[in-house]
Amino acid sequence: MADAFRYEVVKVCKQTGARIGKLYTPHGVIETPVFMPVGTNATVKSLTPAAVESLGAQIVLANTYHLYLRPGHELVRKAGGLHEFMNWHKPILTDSGGFQVFSQASMRKISDDGVKFSSYIDGSKHYMTPEFAMDIQHDLGADIIMAFDECTHGKTDRRASERAMYRTLRWLERCAARHEGHDDQLLFPIVQGNMYEDLRKESIKGALRFAKCGFSIGGLSVGEPKEVMYRMLDVLRPYYPDDMPRYLMGVGSPDCVVEGILRGIDMFDCVLPTRMARNGAAFTTHGNLTVRNASCREQFFPVDEECDCYCCRNFTRAYIRHLIASDEILGGELLSMHNIRFLIRLTEQAKQAIREDRYGDFCEEFRAKYDWTVKGR
| Under rule CB under 8 A, residue 259 binds a second copy | no
Task: Single out the residue of 17, 56, 71, 81 in contact with a second copy (rule: CB under 8 A).
Answer: 71
Q: How far is the CB of 94 from a second copy (least distance, A)?
A: 16
| Under rule CB under 8 A, residue 287 binds a second copy | no
Cβ atoms of 165 and 194 within 8 Å: the answer is: yes
| Under rule CB under 8 A, residue 36 binds a second copy | no
| Under rule CB under 8 A, residue 124 binds a second copy | no
| Under rule CB under 8 A, residue 17 binds a second copy | no
Active site residue 269: yes
Active site residue 371: no
Select which of 3, 95, 143, 308 is catalytic.
Answer: 95
Sign for the CA dihedral angle at 143, 147, 148, 152 comes to negative
Q: What's the rounded Cα separation, in Å, for the pair 35 and 58?
A: 8
Task: Single out the residue of 13, 21, 32, 45 in contact with a second copy (rule: CB under 8 A).
Answer: 45
Write the CA distances from 163 to 106, 202, 266, integer angstroms. Answer: 21, 12, 28
| Under rule CB under 8 A, residue 271 binds a second copy | no
| Under rule CB under 8 A, residue 56 binds a second copy | no
Q: How far is the CB of 322 from a second copy (least distance, A)?
A: 4
Task: Single out the residue of 1, 8, 29, 70 in contact with a second copy (rule: CB under 8 A).
Answer: 70
**Residue whose C-alpha is closest to residue 285's, from 335, 346, 361:** 346
Cβ atoms of 44 and 59 within 8 Å: the answer is: no
Nearer to a second copy by Cβ, of 251 and 281: the residue is: 281
Q: Which residues pair with 2 in a beta bridge?
A: none
Residues in contact with 105: Cβ distance below 8 Å, sequence separation at least 6, in sequence order: 65, 115, 117, 118, 119, 120
**Which of the stretches 24-32, 47-55, 175-183, 255-263 binds a second copy when contact is defined by CB under 8 A?**
47-55
Residues in contact with 254: Cβ distance below 8 Å, sequence separation at least 6, in sequence order: 283, 342, 343, 346, 366, 370, 372
Task: Single out the residue of 41, 118, 285, 349 in contact with a second copy (rule: CB under 8 A).
Answer: 41
Q: What's the rounded Cα separation, in Å, for the pair 80 and 88?
A: 12
Contact mark string toward a second copy, 311..340, x via CB under 8 A: ---xxx-xx--xx-xx-xxx-xxx------
Cβ atoms of 202 and 161 within 8 Å: the answer is: no
Pairing of strands 267-270, 246-248: parallel
Active centre residues (catalytic)? 95, 269
| Contact residues: a second copy, CB under 8 A | 41-43, 45-50, 66, 70-71, 75, 78-80, 85-87, 297-298, 300, 310, 314-316, 318-319, 322-323, 325-326, 328-330, 332-334
